[in-house]
């Protein structure tokens, strides 16, 4: 029997706690999960549990208690909670690696609060998870029912992308994506589309040579064993008929990947980290301090993230 999904609470002053409550009500009987959080930070009904084996018996949101140093005032992050946020992520990883949980779903964190309160040394969730798992490279995928996109370079300035975009980085990104599509999405022979970096995919070198010198050699190498094509002009890759021709799009930088998916399905996008030794998903939004505690936060992305984590876990067995 597949173990429950574990959810790390993220920033307690954000929308995470109320989203977890809403997701539990929406997914009762469909996706078993528990939240690691400080019970004092929760407003709705919860069931404190001592182990994930108790999740099935819970009529209210199951919570694995984890005490935090500070209070949780919606919209006002308390730096004294920073270490608690970090520790909850690590605890979720531990539960997943030891098999007590089948997957990890992370609620949004606030990077400034973590740096102010605990000198957090990572750009974000993904890099911290990679460090906890002792993995050199992971891949960020954004997924919704209509589209899966992978940015090869992520949180760097656009001016730095050409230098960061190496053949080795692109090759590993494609390989990790290909394996994940087979293992976690049950696609035996994934079809991959690779974008160019420059307008019109460089137009034969007139608008840049990255396609010729970096991207094309990798595609030619990998095409011996993969269904892969490109480099393609990014402005013609994402309309309906184009999307029907591939299972995932490999893009060269952050916005090239995220603009189309957020345009197509803003509410239901899921952030999936590929290349970890465990399953990790996350809703594709931030802490939303401006609406935290008002009861109006939309749980659609978290519900989608939990469903995807559970589906991936069931596929892995």
Is 271 labelled as part of a ligand binding site? yes
Is 41 labelled as part of a ligand binding site? no
CA-CA distance, 53 to 309, in Å (whole number)? 18
The partner residues of 26 in beta bridges, in order of sequence, read none
Length of the chain: 317
Buried b (16+ CB within 10 A) or exposed e, 165-174: beeeebbbbb
Q: If we measure between CA atoms, which residue out of 41, 110, 44, 116 comes closest to residue 73? A: 41
Q: If we measure between CA atoms, which residue out of 4, 5, 9, 31 comes closest to residue 20? A: 9
CA-CA distance, 253 to 256, in Å (whole number)? 6
Query: Do residues 199 and 207 touch, judged by C-beta distance below 8 A?
Result: yes
Query: Do residues 310 and 31 touch, judged by C-beta distance below 8 A?
Result: yes
CA-CA distance, 24 to 305, in Å (whole number)? 13
> In sequence order, what are the residues at sequence separation of 6 or more whose Cβ sits closer than 8 angstroms to the Cβ of residue 280?
96, 103, 104, 105, 106, 129, 272, 273, 309
First-to-last C-alpha distance (Å) of the chain: 8
Is 239 labelled as part of a ligand binding site? no
CA-CA distance, 26 to 251, in Å (whole number)? 33
Is 280 labelled as part of a ligand binding site? yes
CA atoms within 13 A on the CB side of 298: 11
Is 126 labelled as part of a ligand binding site? yes
CA atoms within 13 A on the CB side of 105: 31
CA-CA distance, 308 to 205, in Å (whole number)? 40
CA-CA distance, 304 to 285, in Å (whole number)? 12
Is 178 labelled as part of a ligand binding site? no
Could you tell me which residues are annotated as the binding site for substrate? Answer: 125-126, 262, 271, 280
Could you tell me which residues are annotated as the binding site for a divalent metal cation? Answer: 155, 200, 254
Could you tell me which residues are annotated as the binding site? Answer: 125-126, 155, 200, 254, 262, 271, 280
């Amino acid at each position: 029997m597949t173990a429950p999904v574990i959810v790390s609470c993220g920033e307690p002053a954000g929308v995470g706690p109320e989203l977890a409550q809403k997701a539990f009500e929406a997914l009762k009987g469909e996706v078993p999960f528990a939240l690691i959080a400080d019970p004092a930070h929760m407003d709705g009904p919860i069931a404190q549990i001592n182990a994930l084996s108790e999740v099935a018996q819970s009529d209210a949101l199951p919570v694995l208690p984890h005490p935090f140093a500070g209070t949780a005032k919606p919209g006002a992050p308390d730096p004294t909670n920073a270490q608690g946020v970090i520790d909850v992520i690590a605890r979720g990883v531990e539960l997943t690696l030891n098999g007590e949980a089948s997957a990890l779903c992370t609620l949004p964190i606030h990077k400034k609060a973590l740096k102010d309160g605990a000198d957090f040394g990572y750009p974000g969730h993904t890099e911290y998870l990679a460090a906890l798992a002792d993995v050199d490279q992971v891949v960020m995928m954004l997924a919704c029912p209509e589209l899966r996109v992978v940015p090869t370079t992520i949180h760097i300035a656009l001016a730095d992308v050409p230098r960061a975009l190496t053949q080795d980085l692109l090759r590993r990104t494609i390989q990790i994506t290909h394996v994940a599509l087979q293992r976690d999405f049950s696609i035996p022979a994934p079809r991959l589309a690779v974008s160019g970096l420059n307008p019109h995919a460089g137009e034969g070198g007139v608008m840049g040579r990255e396609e010729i010198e970096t991207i094309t050699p990798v595609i030619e190498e990998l095409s011996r064993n993969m269904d892969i094509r490109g480099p393609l002009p990014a402005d013609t890759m994402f309309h309906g008929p184009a999307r029907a021709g591939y299972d995932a799009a490999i893009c060269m930088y952050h916005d090239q990947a995220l603009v189309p998916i957020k345009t197509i399905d803003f509410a239901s996008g899921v952030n999936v980290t590929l290349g970890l030794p465990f399953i990790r998903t996350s809703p594709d939004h931030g802490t939303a301090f401006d609406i935290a505690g008002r009861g109006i936060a939309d749980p659609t992305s978290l519900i989608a993230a939990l469903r995807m984590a559970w589906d991936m876990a069931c596929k892995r067995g």
